Structure 1
Amino acid sequence: MNLPASSVANGQVADSAIRVLVVDDQELFRRGLTMLLNVEPDIDVVGEASSGAEAVGLCHTEAPDVVLMDVRMPKQNGIEACASIKDAAPGARIIMLTVSDDEGDLYDAVKSGASGYLLKDSSIDEVSQAIRVVADGQSLISPSMAIKLLDEFKQMSRGDRNLSPGPKLTERELEVLRLVAHGLNNREIAKQLFISENTVKNHVRNILEKLQLHSRVEAVMYAVREKLLEIP
């Protein structure tokens, strides 16, 4: 984890701060990350856990907005813990922060409901921004991993599978989904389609509800698999 060049040291947390749970079995990394995140005035680390099982318990008591979690931990790893965390704190968004650049881990994390996937060599600024992005209902994957996920999309779209028809999306929802697939955030989509950002959020929420999925990335994976859209 790269340290920031400078930091604000006022120690004050905004009333509307994003509540974050940090989960990692390496105590030194976990404590260091907590200390750095707590410098951010709009982020409040409300707890730390050393395993997925411990994280689930803290989600019951602390109701975090975002869970920042390692993939590979003893007792219960991050991917295994995703479903239990979603049950314990349905509103919580999960970001995987890991040394693993294995596309299998990324794919499993997305299928399990993770909204973000960052490598541990990300800067603290990148981690802080990822927390803000997923807390706002969006998804974020580090660029190097996004390329691997895109390759997985391509393989899925080339596969000759007999799939049952999925829920029907409107033309506007498909339009929004295509732009999500190309990495645009809500603000950029709103600008391109000449609609409000709130309207974009509503479309994304409707897409997830129709497809019964947890995240924007998972929605794109589903859409490519079902041939609802093509990615070049």
Structure 2
Amino acid sequence: MGDGWAAASVDGGSEEHSEAGNAEPIRVLVVDDHALFRRGLEIVLAQEEGITVVGEAADGAEAVEKAADLLPDIILMDVRMPRRSGIEACTAIKEVVPSAKIVMLTISDEEADLYEAIKAGATGYLLKEISTDEVASAIRAVADGQSQISPSMASKLLTEFKSMIQRTDDRRLVPAPKLTDREIEVLKLVATGMNNREIARELFISENTVKNHVRNILEKLQLHSRMEAVVYAMREKILEIG
């Protein structure tokens, strides 16, 4: 893996790893059909404090079995693999080990793979051009409740959101839950990729206040992640993309 982009991140509501400090290492399962790539990741992550690779798998079917057995915190998984694809495995793993957070680490920059991965429950979508240092940073960010996605792929998501809104112009939509003006402000900034600290600076409020707003937004919309909230808000025309 060579030098790459800095993955775009979106803070989430989970604070379990940050609150726990360094007491418990982040348990990682590596899934890829190339043994050399798996080994390379293990070597890189073995040098990182607070991260432990607890196992590896060579395909999606084995990934589901290993996830159920090892109960990892984070799963780094390729999209296209034999026997069972990463996206199919993602769906199965979320049913068996819902606490596991799955990050797709792939060469595929196909929009269809990105959309299907998110629908299947992936928390991140990173291209393999990411630098080695950024792999560990992405793991820590996801463990701390953020979503990680390549900026180039994020722009494709925004384009799809806009198209989705246009396609639903003629549909009768169920009225969306009422968000306050401040919650809408926060959600708009989330949609731009800002993290909690950046949103707090932008709105001149505390970081804890931002976290509370995000938590309330997710509860009102009955969603589980900030990424889902942005998709929902754009679909329901709570937000618009210029």
TM exceeds 0.5? yes
Match of 2:17 in 1: none
| Distance change >3 Å, CA 59–CA 171, structure 1 → 2 | farther
The share of aligned pairs that are identical, in percent, is: 67
Give the TM-score, by structure 1 length: 0.87
Please tell me whether the aligned partners of residues 114 and 215 of structure 1 are also in contact (alpha carbons under 8 angstroms): no
Determine whether 1:231 maps to 2:241.
Answer: yes
State whether residues 87 and 116 of structure 2, in contact with CA within 8 Å, keep that contact through their aligned partners in structure 1.
yes
**Structure 1 residue 207 corresponds to structure 2 residue 217:** yes
Structure 2 residue identity aligned to 1:145: M
Distance 1:21 1:78 in 2: 13
Which residues of 2 match residues 24-173 of structure 1 at below 5 A?
Answer: 24-159=32-167, 160=169, 161-173=171-183
CA RMSD of aligned residues (A): 2.0
Contact 2:26 2:143 (8 Å CA) reproduced: yes
Q: Deviations over 1:130-170 (max 9, x none)?
A: 11111111111111111111111111122223322233333
Q: 1:194 to 1:151 in 2, by over 3 A?
A: same
* 1:3 Cα deviation from its structure 2 partner: 7.6
Q: CA deviation at 1:204?
A: 2.7
Partner of 1:181: 191
C-alpha distance in 2, partners of 1:135/1:20? Answer: 10
- Alpha-carbon distance in structure 2 between the residues aligned to 1:168 and 1:76: 41
Tell me the residue number matched to 1:216: 226
Gaps of 5+ in 2: 5-21
2:3–2:129 Cα contact (<8 Å) kept = no
Q: How many pairs does the alignment contain?
A: 223
Q: Which amino acid aligns with 1:180?
A: V
Task: Map 1:1-16 to 2 at 5 A.
Answer: 1-2=1-2, 15-16=23-24
Are the structure 2 counterparts of residues 112 and 171 from structure 1 closer, same or farther at C-alpha, using a change threshold of 3 Å? farther
Higher relative contact order (CA 8 A, sep 6+): 2
- Three-state SS of the structure 2 residue aligned to 1:48 is strand
Query: CA 1:215 to 1:74, structure 2 compared with 1: closer, same or farther past 3 Å?
Result: farther
Offset of 1:71 from its aligned partner?
0.8
Could you list the per-position Cα deviations for residues 46-104 of structure 1 after superposition, in whole angstroms to 9, with x for gaps in the alignment? 11111222222222222211111111111221111222222222222111111100111
Q: Distance in 1 between matches of 2:3 and 2:189?
A: 33
Structure 1: unaligned runs, 5 residues or longer: 5-13
Distance 1:112 1:168 in 2: 27
Distance in 1 (alpha carbons) for counterparts of 2:216 and 2:97: 21
Q: Deviations over 1:176-200 (max 9, x none)?
A: 2111101101221223233333443
Whichever residue aligns with residue 2 of structure 1, its letter is G
Question: Does the 8 A contact of 1:116 with 1:139 survive in 2?
Answer: yes
